[in-house]
Amino acid sequence: MIFYHFHSFQWLSFFEYISLLLLLAIVLDLIIGDPRWLPHPVIYTGKLISLLESKWNNGASRKGRGILLTVTVIGVVFSMSFTGVFLTYWIHPALGFVTEIYLLSTTIAVNGLQKAANDVFKPLSEGNLEEARHSLSMIVGRDTANLPESEIVRGTVETVAENTVDGVTSPLFWTIIGGAPLAMAYRAVNTLDSMVGYKNEQYINFGWASARLDDIANWLPARMTALSMLAASIFIKNSLKSHALHITWRDARKHPSPNSGWPEAMVAGLSGVQLGGTNYYGGRKSDRAKMGEPLQKLEASHIPQSVLYMHGGWSGFIFLMLVIVFAAGRL
């Protein structure tokens, strides 16, 4: 990583440097999350995507314009992030390091995922299904108005498991390769996918490049995250480790996403529950392959358990990546 080579950091090994960067960014996210009074880069990325999409998503060459959108947005985000971090390091290495920590913290969502899950769990545990449904509707696209408790739990657990990858471990993965600027570029890819990566008439061609690039960017982190969850489960009571390994290998590839199925199947296996099934989107039925075996009925307690697996996933992921960095450094 280019920023490490500024002379003021030579008293730190690269292993120590990257360890501090990752851990301090996680701590910052856990402490402050995404406060509204701080400018959030993802908001501006979304505005740029919306502006370009309104101008380019038309005509006969939508796939070509979609590729141009993807290249433009990622190029702008990476260039601006790199320039900002480079200039602050040039002013003073400590300022650059703090800037990089802040930018990285905006790409991860440990705090946000935990809060979103708790916002569903709290009213659900109090028997307030209406409020729990409303809180779930804030984090999923499916219809939630008439969901029973088990389906509210399923939606929450699936969301926490899936977003452990694109909301936490993937940004950390790309940070180790290219610092906060590459993590910001990854977040731009993820934002593009969430805004234009739909398989409908409006976006099937225009969002093709964004969706495919998001699949590629998450491919390795998704699988490493599932393994990290499994490794961390030795510290979590009642985790079904051997069952989870079997379930993940059997069911992960059934998911419509090439990546989301890995953490979801792992959490299903570790918890002894079944995820997937029938969802409704705008009243339209959508059947998703089931993952896991229903050894236990889905209930509210599985939500905080999924949050534990999320924490175990990113903790184990950081440990695994740092071991690789350390070993590479020794070689």
Give the model's pLDDT for residue 325. Answer: 83
pLDDT(184) > 80: yes
Give the SS3 label for residue 32: helix
User: What stretch of H or E contains 90?
Assistant: helix 62-91
Contact 113, 307 (CB under 8 A): yes
Query: Which tokens is 45 given?
Result: 């990325």
pLDDT(10) > 80: no
Instruction: Report how far residue 90's alpha carbon sits from residue 161's, in angstroms, rounded to the nearest whole number.
Output: 39
pLDDT in tens, 193-244: 999 988 888 899 999 999 999 999 999 999 999 999 999 999 988 889 999 9
Instruction: Report how far residue 327's alpha carbon sits from residue 305's, in angstroms, rounded to the nearest whole number.
Output: 33
Give the model's pLDDT for residue 293. Answer: 95
Give the model's pLDDT for residue 253. Answer: 94
- Does residue 4 lie within any of the structural domains? no
- Percent of the chain past pLDDT 90, that is, above it, reads 76
Kindly state the greatest CA–CA separation across the chain. Answer: 60
**Looking at residues 115-136, what average pLDDT do you find?**
96
- Does residue 3 lie within any of the structural domains? no
pLDDT(34) > 80: no
- Does residue 141 lie within any of the structural domains? yes
- Does residue 1 lie within any of the structural domains? no
Q: Which of 168, 164, 131 is nearest to 22 (CA)?
A: 168
pLDDT in tens, 76-121: 999 999 999 999 999 988 899 999 999 999 999 999 999 999 999 9
Give the model's pLDDT for residue 245. Answer: 95
Q: Which of 302, 288, 215 is nearest to 251 (CA)?
A: 288
Burial group, residue 263, by CB count within 10 angstroms (0-12, 13-18, 19+): buried
Write the DSSP string, 286-314.
EEEEEES--SS---TTHHHHHHHHHHHHH
Contact 166, 24 (CB under 8 A): no
User: What stretch of H or E contains 7?
Assistant: none
Give the model's pLDDT for residue 13. Answer: 77
pLDDT in tens, 147-182: 999 999 999 999 999 999 999 999 999 999 999 999
Query: Which tokens is 189 given?
Result: 């890819």
**Looking at residues 298-321, what average pLDDT do you find?**
95
Strand partners, 279: 286
Give the model's pLDDT for residue 38. Answer: 73
Q: Which of 241, 287, 301, 285 is nearest to 267 (CA)?
A: 241
The model carries a pTM of: 0.93
- Does residue 262 lie within any of the structural domains? yes
Q: Which of 189, 122, 161, 180 is nearest to 273 (CA)?
A: 161
Contact 313, 169 (CB under 8 A): yes
Instruction: Report how far residue 86's alpha carbon sits from residue 99's, in angstroms, rounded to the nearest whole number.
Output: 10
- Does residue 174 lie within any of the structural domains? yes
What range defines the domain where residue 123 resides?
Answer: 10-330
Q: Which of 70, 13, 21 is nearest to 208 (CA)?
A: 70
- Does residue 113 lie within any of the structural domains? yes
Give the model's pLDDT for residue 15. Answer: 82
How many domains does the chain divide into? 1
**Looking at residues 39-60, what average pLDDT do you find?**
90
- Does residue 224 lie within any of the structural domains? yes
pLDDT(302) > 80: yes
